[in-house]
Chains A and B, each alone.
Chain A
Amino acid sequence: MQLPEQTSVIYGAGINDRRGLALEGKVLMYRGKLLLFALVPILACFTALSLLSGIAFASDKPAGTETLLAGPYIIDVNLYQDPPVADQASEITVVPHEANQRLSGSIIEMPGLGTDAVTLHSNLVSLNQTNTLIGSIRMPVRGAWQIIVQLNGPQGAGEASFPVRVAGPGAMPFWMAWLIALTPFVGITWWILHQRRYRQKLLIQTNEQI
């Protein structure tokens, strides 16, 4: 068999060479669009997820400091994000006033009145072998919270707490939230109506076959 002069990638799939070349061009033309259609929703999801779960890293200077008496220890609790933002981890350091004191401890994040959440725990660890303790707090819901610092050291155990108000993202109006959530229902309604017509078509075809 003699091959035609003009060959195409899709020649041999039951398509003649001229049509094959035309289709090949069409496929190449659409390839970019195909990739675009595929990538846009994926990228949108990743962007949204990454925006909503960011981590606030400690900068050089704390954004807020609380001086507390935790049992026998006087401590400075430094917040590196003040107010903390909901669902974002932010660092917290505990610095004893007495420089030679080595402490260990943990943090309890307890939801305050009107905040619908559960109590969370996180550990404090020593920062670079110094007497400063570092930890991370992440409160998933905006509103009132109580930060409880529990410490252990040579003088025994101590506990202190202070309130924080966790900031939330800008609130979307209810109507807008429902508008976004119900937008797919337009497509669903169209699809159900379309399927009713499609069923009629299939019914006619089936009856013809019988």
Chain B
Amino acid sequence: MVYSESQASTAATSYTITPARLDRSERLLRRSTAWFMLVLLLSGELGSIWDREWHFYVGRDQFWTPPHTLIYLSVAGAGILALTVVLVDTVRFYRGASGVDDNSTVRIFKLFHAPLGFIIAGFGALQALVSAPLDNYWHTLYGIDIELWAPFHMMGITGAAIGNIGMVYIFASEAAIERESAYPYRRILGLSVLEWGALLILAGLINFIFVGFLQFPVATFGLLLIPTYSLPVAVFGALVLIGASRLAYKPGAATLTVFLLAFHTVFEELFVPWAIRTAVIQEGMSYRVPGEIPNFNATDALLPLIFIISALIVDGVAFWRQRKGYQLGGYTRGIWLLGVIITIPQLIIAPCLLLSSIDLPTVFLEQPGVTILPQLRLETALIAVPIILACGGFGAITGANFGDIWRWNKR
């Protein structure tokens, strides 16, 4: 270890030896930027929920609605911050600054050297920003209620998801560096502050998936009406819960993530209806359906309940492995089965919760008076349930892989 000597007093002849962190400036750069980006991410997420409700209650009268302004300022801000770190770290790499080398950065385009998380987050932000004018163009052509499965909605939403995952990389890599360094750091409930940040972003990832897929739960392909909200919920539910457990390497991390998700949803439900009512009054607008005014929606606030049993199962498995002396990460064999198992409670809880806000029978049957035969229901379930469970299995494998990387990666 490297030490620096500092003279305790000019009068005294004794010297105190304090450990000096050579990579201090690099840690400061990455961590302060990460926290700023986290704030922008949360505000962008809030803007997304606000936008969903704005569409429903007010309608899309122009591109620069208040929620859109919040979303795109947040995305642009996060993108600029990520780009700044990439450029600064590239220069610092070539200057040979401490803490910026091949072990702490990745090379991209044979020129840039930067932390992996900032590169991923930057690409995500760029993709989301590029999709914005294209999405506006698509709305101009096809109206304000085009589905989520429109090309540029998909482009924007995947960009945002990539940005979220990039942010997890940033916090997780800093947490890994912190764990391996000999310096003391603060822990809350056994987790470092950086690990809390990573779990908060993972919770935000699920929350983000709620935004779009619940707004447009049914995809229309000609005459086919396919309910799709359960597919991303299963994939990202498993990915986030198993990823969180492996990242934190502690039983309880998955349940904690669900509680953090509840914090997101309750806060949004408190803020968004108030924000819409205020904006409508201040801008002199009218509601899309006269008399339909937004208020606190308990169902939306309680959406995290979909994952509570799944999280307890994931934590139960982690606790059992810890008791048996097995590692909590580093394995993928049989993880798909855990993904399938944790998707089953979601399949039961989600429809029960959502029936109060989405009229699923009407969604399936647009023509009034048409009855669904029990045999048809059974056939539909026999096709849909295995696909949803497979999505859960896929999410679990992906979550296990990402979770291990987040635990170990220091770049």
Of B61, B146, B154, most buried by chain A (CB within 10 Å of CB) is B61
Number of interface residues of B (CB under 8 A): 58
CB contacts (< 8 Å) of A203 on chain B: these are 330, 404, 408
Q: Known: A116-B142, A117-B59, A184-B158. Is A14-B136 also a contact (CB below 8 A)?
A: no
Interface status of B131 (Cβ within 8 A of chain A): yes
Q: Known: A118-B60, A199-B405. Is A14-B130 also a contact (CB below 8 A)?
A: no
Complex Cα spacing A125 to B179, Å: 66
Interface status of B401 (Cβ within 8 A of chain A): yes
Q: Is the beta-carbon distance between A27 and B129 smaller than 8 angstroms?
A: no
Known pairs A118-B60, A140-B61 / 10 extra A-B pairs, C-beta < 8 Å: A10-B95, A52-B63, A53-B136, A140-B139, A177-B138, A181-B154, A181-B155, A182-B154, A196-B401, A206-B330
Looking at chain A's contact residues, is the secondary structure mostly helix, strand, loop, or mixed?
helix
CB contacts (< 8 Å) of A7 on chain B: these are none
CB contacts (< 8 Å) of A10 on chain B: these are 94-96
Whole-angstrom distance between the Cβ of A148 and the nearest chain B Cβ: 14
Interface status of A91 (Cβ within 8 A of chain B): no
Q: Is the beta-carbon distance between A169 and B94 smaller than 8 angstroms?
A: no
Q: Is the beta-carbon distance between A169 and B151 smaller than 8 angstroms?
A: no
CB contacts (< 8 Å) of B131 on chain A: these are 181
Whole-angstrom distance between the Cβ of A209 and the nearest chain B Cβ: 10
Interface status of B83 (Cβ within 8 A of chain A): yes
Complex Cα spacing A192 to B395, Å: 13
Chain B 347-371 interface mask (CB, 8 Å, partner A; 1/0) = 0000000000000000000000000
Q: What are some 26 contacts across the A-B interface (CB < 8 A)?
A: A10-B96, A13-B97, A14-B96, A30-B90, A34-B111, A41-B130, A45-B132, A48-B133, A52-B140, A87-B62, A87-B63, A115-B143, A117-B61, A118-B61, A120-B61, A138-B62, A140-B63, A142-B140, A168-B140, A169-B137, A169-B140, A177-B138, A181-B131, A182-B151, A185-B158, A202-B404
Interface status of A23 (Cβ within 8 A of chain B): yes
CB contacts (< 8 Å) of A181 on chain B: these are 131, 134, 151-152, 154-155
Interface status of A130 (Cβ within 8 A of chain B): no
Q: Is the beta-carbon distance between A140 and B94 smaller than 8 angstroms?
A: no
Q: Is the beta-carbon distance between B129 and A38 smaller than 8 angstroms?
A: no
Complex Cα spacing A119 to B288, Å: 8
Q: Is the beta-carbon distance between A27 and B83 smaller than 8 angstroms?
A: no
CB contacts (< 8 Å) of B137 on chain A: these are 52, 169, 172
Interface status of B102 (Cβ within 8 A of chain A): no
Chain A 190-204 interface mask (CB, 8 Å, partner B; 1/0) = 011001101100110
Compute the total of residue contacts between A and B using a CB distance below 8 Å. 153
CB contacts (< 8 Å) of B307 on chain A: these are none
Q: Is the beta-carbon distance between A33 and B63 smaller than 8 angstroms?
A: no
Q: Is the beta-carbon distance between B408 and A205 smaller than 8 angstroms?
A: yes
Complex Cα spacing A45 to B152, Å: 15
CB contacts (< 8 Å) of A48 on chain B: these are 130, 133-134
Interface status of A171 (Cβ within 8 A of chain B): yes
4 closest pairs, A vs B, by CB? Answer: A116-B143, A118-B59, A181-B151, A48-B133
Whole-angstrom distance between the Cβ of B156 and the nearest chain A Cβ: 9
CB contacts (< 8 Å) of B129 on chain A: these are 41, 45
Interface status of A49 (Cβ within 8 A of chain B): yes
CB contacts (< 8 Å) of A143 on chain B: these are 143
Q: Which residue of A lies closest to B126 (CB)?
A: A41
The answer, among A37, A45, A174, for a CB contact under 8 Å with B133, is A45
Chain A 100-142 interface mask (CB, 8 Å, partner B; 1/0) = 0000000000000001111111000000000000000010111
Q: Known: A141-B139, A199-B401. Is A178-B62 also a contact (CB below 8 A)?
A: no
